[in-house]
Amino acid sequence: MYYRNANCAVVVYDITQSASLEKARSWVRELQRQADPSIVITLCGNKTDLDARRQVSQEEAKKYAEEEGLMWGETSAKTGEGVSDIFTAIGQNVSILYTSYSLQTLTISIAKKLPLSTPQSRPGASRGTAPGAQVDLNRKPAGGEQTDACNC
């Protein structure tokens, strides 16, 4: 299984075989142990088209998913039922997680880079403009010489 730098993982079990849920549990443990702590893990029961042969109840799978903090859903790869729902939900959760993470990172970055008070100007440190003065970026340099540089 490859999961380095993964944002999400889908662990699939077969609803018609109890042993597959046990195997899925071991994969979930592996992800929780080795993957990034912020990974979004979805437990997905497959083969809902074979519901008459079900060995893993929805209640059992849901309970396990809730205990482990996993997303949960059921699908049928054969009919396509539930597949887009699973991936849409994953996308929404990953988006929310990383938007939140990005906003926290941005807030931290701004807090580190911006001073809490206005810096005091030092004598002689001015670049030729008074505090609050406007700079004309289209102004030609004195003496009529042409340059491509900014005049600020």
Where does the pLDDT of residue 87 fall: very low under 50, low under 70, confident under 90, or very high at 90 and above? confident
- What is the pLDDT, as a whole number, of residue 89? 86
Range from 22-26, 35-39, 122-126, 134-138 that averages highest in pLDDT:
22-26
Q: Domain of 40: which CATH number?
A: 3.40.50.300
Please report whether residue 128 resides in a domain: no
Return the amino acid letter for 15: I
- What is the pLDDT, as a whole number, of residue 46? 96
Query: Counting beta carbons within 10 angstroms of the beta carbon of residue 3, is it exposed (0 to 12), middle (13 to 18) or buried (19 or more)?
Result: middle
- What is the pLDDT, as a whole number, of residue 107? 47
Domain count, the chain: 1
Report which of 45, 38, 44 is spatially closest to residue 95, judged by C-alpha positions: 38
Please report whether residue 123 resides in a domain: no
Q: What mean pLDDT is predicted for residues 34-49? A: 90
Domain containing residue 31: 8-113
Please report whether residue 101 resides in a domain: yes
Please report whether residue 142 resides in a domain: no
Residue 124 reports pLDDT greater than 60? no
Report which of 3, 32, 27 is spatially closest to residue 13, judged by C-alpha positions: 27
Please report whether residue 32 resides in a domain: yes
Please report whether residue 145 resides in a domain: no
How many CA atoms does the CB half-sphere of 21 hold within 13 Å? Answer: 20
Residue 14 reports pLDDT greater than 70? yes
Residue 97 reports pLDDT greater than 60? no
How many CA atoms does the CB half-sphere of 48 hold within 13 Å? Answer: 14
Please report whether residue 76 resides in a domain: yes
Put simply, whether the predicted model's pTM sits higher than 0.75 gets the answer no
At a CB cut-off of 8 Å and minimum separation 6, what does 147 contact?
141
Where does the pLDDT of residue 88 fall: very low under 50, low under 70, confident under 90, or very high at 90 and above? confident
Q: What mean pLDDT is predicted for residues 50-54? A: 96
Please report whether residue 126 resides in a domain: no
Instruction: Give yes or no for a contact between 6 and 39, defined as CB atoms under 8 angstroms apart.
Output: yes
Lookup: tokens for 114:
């911006």
